[in-house]
Structure 1
Amino acid sequence: MRPALLGSVAVVLALILTAPSAAATDRYPVSYGLAGLAKAAEAQLTRPGSAPPGANNWSCKPSAAHPDPVVLVHGFTANMTANWQTVSPLLANNGYCVFALTYGVPAGTPFPLDQVGGRNPMEQSAAELGAFIDRVLAATGARKVDIVGHSEGSLMPNYYVKFLGGAAKVSDYVGLTPLWNGTNLAALATLYGLGRALGLGPLIDLLVGPIAPAAPQFLAGSPFLKKLAEGGVADPNVTYTTIMTKYDELVIPYTSGYLRAPNATDVVLQNVCPQDYAGHAMVAFDPNATQVILNALDPANAKPVRCHFVPVSP
């Protein structure tokens, strides 16, 4: 057998041997890693726009053990269908009422482009999220929700928390691959700043705006990020957990995810599990990250992270 093929077999075996197994009582199958990504692709192709498994049961009533419903907030250019095929069923199996939305789709966008979310200005998406959370609270009778967000979904909800009254309605806030200080991917933040300094800001905004006006807001030093940082990024009434990966190819540098606040816990996956090579997208399907999520939402019953090998992945 050729060495390359042997390596591929070894990776597959490692994934099979280290992947968490479903308990007999689990209502929903949970797939991790590459299998989770494949499941997300399959769901998007066959059931576009559908809620992920375990989510959006509007008759769900929170238990005493988990009184806060969990709202899942996807990333930039993603949607609820693809982003949460692992996290949603896992949370539902653990007794949570789970809800998810696709946000940030410009009005009038036709199918299939309407499956590409997170494009509207984040201020607008934050208001959309707030309306959805109000609906969740009304349906469940809960006082507060927990938020689990990925990429843009780890950043945009904080605008809702700080400026739209969300601090009174959010208890725990878990961010996957967050970018509180923005990203300088491919030196775009530097180039964008230079362009604005040269008076080209209106032209740049005109070119980017019709496609994805949220995109420039992610760049380090953007007006959106500066406003979010006013008075400190973290709201003192909310408990934050940030989950970063050193192999994040979109959040540059990955340390932009550090919140460094007294009410925040900053977790770098590789400091917990050195054999975790997950990239930006894979964190939402990562068995090590999902245990950190469970611990953050229920610290009284936290369990040690049983490290699983995660191969190099997007």
Structure 2
Amino acid sequence: MLPWKRVLRPLAALLLAAAAATVPASTATAATDSAATSPSSGWNDYSCKPSATHPRPVVLVHGTFGNSIDNWLGLAPYLEVRGYCVYSLDYGQLPGVPLFHGLGPIDKSAEQLSTFVDKVLSATGAAKADVVGHSQGGLMPRYYLRFLGGAAKVNALVGLAPDNHGTTLNGLTNLLPYFPGAEDLLSAATPGLADQIAGSAFLTKLNAGGDTVPGVHYTVIATRYDEVVTPWRSAYLGGSDVDNVLLQDLCPLDLSEHVAIGLFDRIAFHEVANALDPGRATPTTCASALG
């Protein structure tokens, strides 16, 4: 085995383990490249009209190796039954790789998000949307906000375990420079992964001059047990309109790691709802898991 393959194998294994946890076998075949519709809710219902109580549609942005259905089997219905018009998209597709998305260049994925937000705003008649993303889905929209005019169309960005300043994968990525060709291979095969490595050219450009843009409200919900975004504090943003939240400060008993926080953690979901409607926010505690 070539030396660099010994590095890429654990990197891929860790990421694929997270992907496998987010894509139940019973539901994976339901994903499509167009916006998918949950069979039991109004999720991705383009006839939905936002109410006076919740005047902005919510756009859900999946993470790396995710898709528009499986990443949101928990949160989309949670928000929909609370009166939100909820939408999700697939982005970052690679040719010949079905179901697992978020692998293409992140700047190109942001262009797909831009097109999708325009579609949602046109269908709902809303002036702005709110965006909620998991992992890369909390990072990628920041490119849209900063470079593609998204700040004029988005009220709030809520990130669940986003890798806003990249990840070291518990130090594994620090080994890549020692194996000739490994970085080039990763960038060529899965540019969306390479963009998320701490210190990448993409992240350097994105974070130059500050983490946020004026006019958008930012919330980051992180977990100290994150095994994919490492160190976990790299999720946090700096800025005057940022709320950085640690899940374990809300409920010390919550052991959710990177996958669980986006897939089924109702404590995290309650905090998402608070971020979307701060005027009606209620304290998030361990009891929020029962809500």
TM-score (norm: length of structure 1): 0.79
Q: Are 1:304 and 2:283 counterparts?
A: yes
Is there any run of 5+ residues in structure 2 with no aligned partner, and where? Answer: 1-20
| Cα separation, 1, equivalents of 2:280 and 2:288 | 24
Q: Percent identity?
A: 44
Tell me what 1:80 maps to: 68
Quote the offset at 1:64 in angstroms: 1.1
What amino acid does structure 2 have at the position aligned with 1:301?
Answer: R
Equivalent pair of 1:40/1:85 in contact (CA under 8 Å): no
Quote the offset at 1:194 in angstroms: 5.3
Do the aligned partners of residues 291 and 208 (structure 1) sit closer, same or farther apart at CA in structure 2, a change above 3 Å counting?
same
Q: Are 1:51 and 2:37 counterparts?
A: yes
Equivalent pair of 2:163/2:229 in contact (CA under 8 Å): yes
Equivalent pair of 1:171/1:239 in contact (CA under 8 Å): yes
Tell me what 1:241 maps to: 219
What amino acid does structure 2 have at the position aligned with 1:257?
Answer: A
Equivalent pair of 1:244/1:269 in contact (CA under 8 Å): yes
Tell me what 2:48 maps to: 60
Please point out which of 161, 170, 183 is paired with 1:177.
161
| Cα separation, 2, equivalents of 1:186 and 1:236 | 33
Tell me what 2:78 maps to: 90
Do the aligned partners of residues 253 and 64 (structure 1) sit closer, same or farther apart at CA in structure 2, a change above 3 Å counting?
same
Which of the pair has more CA radius of gyration?
A: 1
Is there any run of 5+ residues in structure 1 with no aligned partner, and where? Answer: 1-36
CA RMSD after TM alignment: 1.9
| Cα separation, 2, equivalents of 1:41 and 1:263 | 40
| Cα separation, 1, equivalents of 2:178 and 2:213 | 32
* Residue-by-residue CA offset, 1:129-167 (whole Å, 9 max, x unaligned): 100111111111111100000000000010000000000
* Residue-by-residue CA offset, 1:79-117 (whole Å, 9 max, x unaligned): 0111000110011101111110111102x42xxx32110
Report 1:271-282 matches (<5 A).
271-282=249-260
What amino acid does structure 1 have at the position aligned with 2:84?
Answer: Y
Tell me what 1:17 maps to: none
Tell me what 2:12 maps to: none
TM-score (norm: length of structure 2): 0.85
Do the aligned partners of residues 146 and 309 (structure 1) sit closer, same or farther apart at CA in structure 2, a change above 3 Å counting?
closer
Quote the offset at 1:237 in angstroms: 1.3
Quote the offset at 1:227 in angstroms: 0.6
